[in-house]
Amino acid sequence: MASNLFQSRSWGKFTRNRFAVVSLGVILAYLLVAVASFVGVITLEDTQVRVLPDRTRGFLESSDLDKRSRDAQWFVERTSLRVQRAELAPESYERLMSELALRERRVADVPLERMAELIERAESQLDDLYDALDDRDEVLDEILFIDLELRRLGDSAEDAALASEMRSEREALLARVSDVDAAAETRIAAVEATILEIHPYPGGLGGLWYGVRTFLGSDAQGRSISMKAFYSIRIAFQVGLVVAVVCVIIGTVLGAAAGFFGGWVDYFVMYLVSVLSSIPTLVLLGVLVYMFFGHPLFDNPAERPGLALVPVYCAMCLTFWVSTCRVIRGEVMKIKNLEYVQAATSIGFGRVYILFKHVIPNTAHLMFINLSLLFIGAIKSEVILSFLGLGVKGQPSWGVMISQAKDDISVMFFWEVVTASVLMFGLVLAFNILSDALQDAFDPKHVS
Amino acid sequence: MWAFIIRKILYNVPVYVGVLVLVFLALRVQDPVYQYLGQEAGQEQIDQLRRSMGLDRPLPVQFGIYLREVVTFNFEAQSWNQRGTEVGEILKRSIVPSLSLTVPALVLSTVIGVFISLIAAYFRGRAPDRILMIAAVLGMSISFLVYIIFGQFFFAAVPREAGLGWWPFAVQGYEPWIVFGEGGGVYPGRWVTYCMLPVMISVIVSMGYDTRFYRAVMVEETGRDYITTAVAKGATKPKIMFVHMLKNAMIPVITRVMSTLPFVVIGSILLEMYFGIPGMGREIITAIINKDFPVIQAFVAVFALIFIASVILTDVLYAVVDPRVRLS
C-alpha cells in the first residue's frame, strides 16, 4: 500500500512542491530533537534544575544594571552562606560547594581559605556597588522629583523664574547621570569578575552544553528555557503521533465500515459521530480529562510523569477520530460502486476481505492527509489544555511553559513565552504546509 | 417545510439523549464527591454531600433526575464551589456575557472573511491572492494563546500603563451593553471597553481558517455554468463576483458559519478565561478545574443543547436557501 503510494503521480507532484519538501525537512529536524529526548540526551531532570539566576535574558540581549546587580548579589549570597557553614565544619566543604553547581558550571576547585578570601572580596565589592547604585538612585530620584514639580507648576507665569531655575538644575543632573552610571558599571564589572573566579564557566564539551542550556535564558525559577522548550518538542510529538495514529485507525475502520456496509452499521457509527460532535471539543476534552482526576496511576505526575499523559491521549483519541471517520465514510461510499470492487465481489471474495484489501488501501491518501491534520489539532489542543491546567502535568510542554510565563510578561520578560510560541509556530506551520501540499497532490478536488 | 423541521428534531432527540448518557457516565467514572472533597474529608461530610446530589441512589434514578432537570430546564442543585448559588442562577447570569462576545465575533469574522476571500478570488493566482493566502497560513499557525497574551499586553496593558487615559481597551473585566442603574435609570454599558479587544482577537484568529475556506468556495463557484453565461452576456467582472457569485456562494457560507459555532465557543472559553469575562466557557472550565460536579453536569447538557439546536437551525436555513435539500 505504501510502496504504491510512493510511485504514484501524486507523490511526484508532492515532491516537486518545494515548500512541502522544506517543511518535511523542518519536521524531520524537530523529530531529531524529539528522538534525542527519547533516548535520554535531554532528560526531565534537565528541565527541572536551576542553571542561572531567575529570569535571565537570553543571547544578544544584555540585562540592565538592576538585574545584573541582583544576579551578582544572588551569586555572592548563596556562595557566602555555604562558605560560612564550611568554615564551621570544614569536612563538609566539598559537599556544600557541589550543591552550588549549576549543572556543568561548578564552583572553582580551590581550598576553603582561598574561597573565603574570594567571597570576602566579592562582598566588599558588592558593598561598593551598592554605594554606587545609591548615588545613581539619588540622582534619578531628584530628576523625577523635578519633573513632577515642573508638571505641577505648569505654565503659570509668576513661577517662570523658578521653573527655569529647576530646568537648569535638571540639565546638570542629567549630565551627572552618565557619570554615576559609569561608576556603577565599573563596580559591577568588578563584582562579576570575582564571581567568575568563584564560579568559572566550564570549558570544552561541558561548556558547550552549558551554552546550549543558557542561550535562551532562564525562567522565573532559574530553569533552562531551552531545555524546557526542547523537551516540549518530545511531548508534542508524543501527543501528536499517538493521537493522530490512533484516531486515523479508529476513524478509518469505523468510517470505512459505515460507508461500505451501510444499514445499521452506518446508523450506529453516524450516531456515535453525532453524539461526540454535539459537545464542543474543548468541553468534551475537559470532561474526559475530569474522568482521570486524582487517579493514583494516571494523575500522579510526581512519580509517573509518563502515565500522566494518558488522560490527554484518551480524551483526544475519543474526540478527534470523528472528522477522519466522516471523510473516509464519504470516500468509501464513492469507492464501493467502482468497477474493481464489483469485480472483486463477482469473483466471490468476502465482504470484509474486500473492505480491508481493496477499499481501505484506496483511502490511504486521505489517511495521510488526516494524519497531518490531526497532528496539528492534537498539538494545538494539548497546548490549550495545558494552559488551562487540564493537560500535561509534571513535565514541561509548550502550553505549560506559556502558562508559567504569563506573569513574566508584565515585567517585560518575554524569553519563555516567545521561545515556546516560536517553536510551536514552526512545527505547526510546517505541518500546515505539509497538509496543504498533501491535499493538493492527492485530493485536488477537496474544498478545505 | 414543517415536516422537514420535525423530522430533523426527531432525529436529534436520540443524539441528545446519547450525549446526556455519555456525560452522565463520564462524570461518574470516579466518585465525584471524593474528587471534590479529597482524601482528608470526613465520612459524615462525604455522606451529606452525596445525599444532597442524590448520588446515593441507584444509577437509573440518578439519570432520571438529571433528565428531569434538563427537560424542565430547571437546574436547582447548588454549586459545590460557589456555596449557596443554584446552578440555574450561574447559567442565567453567564449566558449574556458569552453571547456578547461570540455573536459580534461571528458576524464580524464572517463578513470580513467573505470580503477578503472575494478579493482573493478576484485576483486569483496573482500577487494579492498569493499574499493573502500566505498570510492566512501564517495566521493559522500562530497559537491562539499568543494572540491573546500579546494582544492583551500590547493593546490593553501597555497603553494603560503608559497613562493613556482615553485608551479604549481595558485589561480585564466585563460590563454589558446596557446597565440598569439603582434608581431605575438605564445607561449604556462600556461594552466597547471590555469586549471589543477580545472580539477583535477572535476575529483575527478565525480569519485564517475562514478566508481559506471561503476562497475555495468562491474559486469553485467560478467554474459554474451560470458564471459562463454571465460572462457571455457581457456582465462586468465585479458584477459577476459580487452579485451572481456571492448569492450562490451563500449556501456553503451558511453551513460554515454554523459549523464554526463550536470553534467560536472554544475560542471564547480561552478569551473569557484570560479577559475575565464571566461567561459560560469560563464557568465550565473553572468548574472542571475545581471539580464542581453539579455545574459541569448541567453546563455540558446546555452546551450540547445549544449545539444541537444550531445544527437543526443550519439544516433548516439550508433548506430555506436551497430547496433541493428538503426533498432528500
Read off the CATH number of the domain in which B189 is found: 1.10.3720
Task: Give me the mean pLDDT over the A107-115 stretch.
Answer: 88
Are residues A410 and B303, on separate chains, in Cβ contact within 8 Å? Answer: no
The alpha carbons of chain B give a radius of gyration, in whole angstroms, of 24
For B253, the domain range is 93-282
Q: Is A433 on the interface with B (CB under 8 A)?
A: yes
Helix ranges, chain B (H): 2-26, 32-37, 43-52, 59-72, 87-122, 127-141, 144-152, 158-161, 191-222, 225-232, 237-239, 246-248, 250-259, 261-275, 280-290, 293-321, 324-327
pLDDT digits (tens, 9 = 90+) for A334-364: 888 899 999 999 999 998 999 998 899 888 8
Are residues A279 and B285, on separate chains, in Cβ contact within 8 Å? Answer: no
Q: What is the pLDDT of residue B267?
A: 58
Is B73 a domain residue? no
Is B303 a domain residue? no
Residues of chain B positioned with their CB less than 8 A from the CB of A390: 285, 288-289
Cell numbers that stand for B230 in this block:
454571465
Cell numbers that stand for A82 in this block:
555555604
More confident residue, B222 or B262: B222
Is B209 a domain residue? yes
Q: How far is CA A267 from the centre of its chain?
A: 42
As a whole number, the mean pLDDT across chain B is 84
Residue A258 has pLDDT above 60, yes or no: yes
* CA-closest candidate to residue B140, choices B209, B81, B201: B209
Dump strand ranges (E) for A212-362: none
* Beta pairing partners, A218: A224
Q: Which chain A residue shows the shortest CA-CA distance from B147?
A: A421
Highest mean pLDDT among A238-242, B6-10, B237-241: A238-242
Cell numbers that stand for B39 in this block:
482524601
* Spatial separation of the C-alpha atoms in residues A310 and A243, rounded to whole Å: 11
Q: Which chain A residue shows the shortest CA-CA distance from B37?
A: A294
* Spatial separation of the C-alpha atoms in residues A64 and A49, rounded to whole Å: 25
* Spatial separation of the C-alpha atoms in residues B161 and B177, rounded to whole Å: 26
As a whole number, the mean pLDDT across chain A is 88
Q: What is the pLDDT of residue A248?
A: 96
pLDDT digits (tens, 9 = 90+) for A19-72: 889 999 999 999 999 999 999 888 888 888 888 888 888 887 888 888 889 999
Q: Which chain A residue shows the shortest CA-CA distance from B21?
A: A275
CATH 1.10.3720.10 occupies which residues in chain A?
Answer: 2-41+223-442
Residues of chain B positioned with their CB less than 8 A from the CB of A433: 137
Residues of chain A positioned with their CB less than 8 A from the CB of B143: 380, 383, 398, 402, 421, 424-425, 428
Query: What distances in angstroms separate CA B233 from CA B226, B230, B240, B245, B261, one per listed residue?
Result: 11, 5, 11, 15, 40
Are residues A389 and B137, on separate chains, in Cβ contact within 8 Å? Answer: no
**Lowest-confidence segment of A397-406, B58-67, B309-318 by average pLDDT:** B309-318
Is B45 a domain residue? no
Q: What is the pLDDT of residue A421?
A: 94
* Spatial separation of the C-alpha atoms in residues B135 and B115, rounded to whole Å: 15
Nearest CB to A291 within list B29, B217, B273:
B29
Q: Is A202 on the interface with B (CB under 8 A)?
A: no
Is B69 a domain residue? no
* CA-closest candidate to residue A415, choices A181, A226, A258, A251: A226
The residue among A275, A276, A386 with the most chain B CBs within 10 A of its CB, best to mutate, is A275
Q: Is A267 on the interface with B (CB under 8 A)?
A: no
**Residues B96 and B112 sit within 8 Å (Cβ to Cβ):** no
Q: What is the pLDDT of residue A448?
A: 47
pTM of this prediction? 0.89
Q: Domain A2-41+223-442 carries which CATH code?
A: 1.10.3720.10
Are residues B303 and A280, on separate chains, in Cβ contact within 8 Å? Answer: yes
Residue B86 binned pLDDT confidence (cut-offs 50, 70, 90): confident
Residues of chain B positioned with their CB less than 8 A from the CB of A383: 143, 145
ipTM more than 0.85? yes
Residues of chain A positioned with their CB less than 8 A from the CB of B217: 447
Q: Which 270-309 residues of chain A touch chain B by CB within 8 A? A: 271-272, 274-283, 286-295
Cell numbers that stand for B104 in this block:
459580534
Are residues A287 and B300, on separate chains, in Cβ contact within 8 Å? Answer: yes
pLDDT digits (tens, 9 = 90+) for B122-166: 888 889 999 999 999 999 899 889 999 999 898 888 888 777 777
Q: Is A7 on the interface with B (CB under 8 A)?
A: no
Residue A2 has pLDDT above 80, yes or no: no
Are residues A432 and B141, on separate chains, in Cβ contact within 8 Å? Answer: yes
* Beta pairing partners, B78: B86
Domain count, chain B: 1
